[in-house]
Amino acid sequence: MPTVTGPQRELAQAASETDPAVAGLTVGLGGPSGRFARLGSSWWTPLRIALAVCTITFGLGVLQKAPCMEAGWDRQSWRPFKALCYSDIGFLYQERGFAEGNRPFLDTGNYPVLEYPVLTGGFMEVAARITWLFTGDPKKDITAEQKRDTAGVFFVVNLVMLFICALLLVGFTVATARGAETRPGAARGQPLDALYVAAAPVLALTSTINWDLFAVALTAGAMFAWSRGKPVWFGILLGLGTAAKFYPFLLLGPLLIVCIRGRKLWPWFQAVIAAGVAWGLVNAPIYLLAKNEWLSFWQFNDQRESDYGSIWYVLKLANHEVADVNQLNIVIFAGLCLSIAILGLMAPRPPRFAQLAFLVVAAFLLINKVYSPQYVLWLLPLVALARPRLRDWLIWQACECFYWMLVWMHLAQFLAPGDPQVPDRIYWFSVILRMAGTLWLMLVVARDILLPEKDPVRRGDLVDDPSDGVPSRAQTRLATASASASA
């Protein structure tokens, strides 16, 4: 029987060999692989395994939403909160003009303007037009019950489209985690780290609450492009992601620190310019044709009060409301970003892009004035790339799942005690516990940056970031010198 040794075995290492927690869990399945194991010869490649697991996870999420699908998308129904299956998708179809056949931003009526970025509005319109192919002309007069039935079809169409986004997210994460293995001295890839995305309970529970998964898939695509040494494509995909949700824009800051440490500022400028152009091309038509409607997203977020999931909302419930959360958020976030930048610049070895990106996005979420359940999807691929360790992932997922359950019970007022003057403090606890789970991950990632030997991704590697495909100036000079010597 052929064996896998040397460099080939290094590339084929399994998680059971590198993660002590996974090794312990596999004892009942035969334990870690042995020296004569035939690794890498199965049809089940890491990509196929991850996509299959993602399909199962997403399917479980669809089943979890079944009670709401069965009851119909009626806000008077008890099921969305009691059955923990709430989703914005079916309701906003009826409440933002889609049920009447209207276009987002460009058409107005007796309903609120769509409070989402332009590209997410386009995603919704595509789903609506597919829905109309099945349900007929939406312009004709229909009853409220018929609208709810049509909203059910719209929800199913979005399920299919978001499932494609989930597969893309997992595929991009597999490819990014694999690393630039063809580079001299590059680390072995860890493509099975994508299972931390594909098997995540929160992927099942939150993927179809809203349309965040669309922006997350675009952001994962941008990180894949960077791992393949394509800063322009990184910028284009990041710009599109920002046109779907604001948060991908935040990744340009961590990337700047990485590029400063690697003395490769030109790729960063290329990425910024490409991102700006992509974002501008998507937004310009709506801005020119319907400026007030285009501004609705920015105005909504500026005027929004402290809301579900945030520490500011807990303070408001506790009668300690902060007067100007927007200004305080800006000050605190700026301070956190400065601290992360100092950490990245002063670290003994250049930090990995995913590590800094995770820290910045997590900091943004922790101090934001709203922290919706589905926002956890923003962190999902970043955690898989920054800290792929089972123990830390399980702690974080447990905290997120606990909050996901409690927020719906809070909205349904199931947690309120008998005395209406006494608040449901268990919901406050769920918010704090969720924040603690994220803070735990931030601390271990910061420790990995300060102590590179603790980093589970690059331990013993000759390169600082195996998922960084854009060579530094020093690496470029070394490659040029090697080529000249060979010639």
**3-class secondary structure per residue, 348-411:** CCCCCHHHHHHHHHHHHHHHCCCCCHHHHHHHHHHHHHHCCCHHHHHHHHHHHHHHHHHHHHHH
pLDDT at residue 467 in the model:
84
Output the pLDDT for position 360: 98
d(CA 202, CA 376): 7
pLDDT at 480: 44
- Among 266, 163, 168, 254, CA closest to 207: 163
**Helix-strand-coil split of the chain, %, nearest 5:** 70, 0, 30
pTM: 0.89
C-alpha closest to that of 459 among 13, 4, 8, 1: 13
The series of mean pLDDT values per 10 residues for the chain, 487 residues long, is 39 51 49 51 86 98 92 81 92 94 93 95 97 89 82 97 98 85 48 92 97 98 96 98 97 97 95 98 97 94 92 93 91 98 96 97 97 97 96 97 95 71 84 97 97 83 79 53 46
**Torsion over CA of 242, 244, 247 and 251, rounded to 10 degrees?**
-40
pLDDT of residue 179: 65
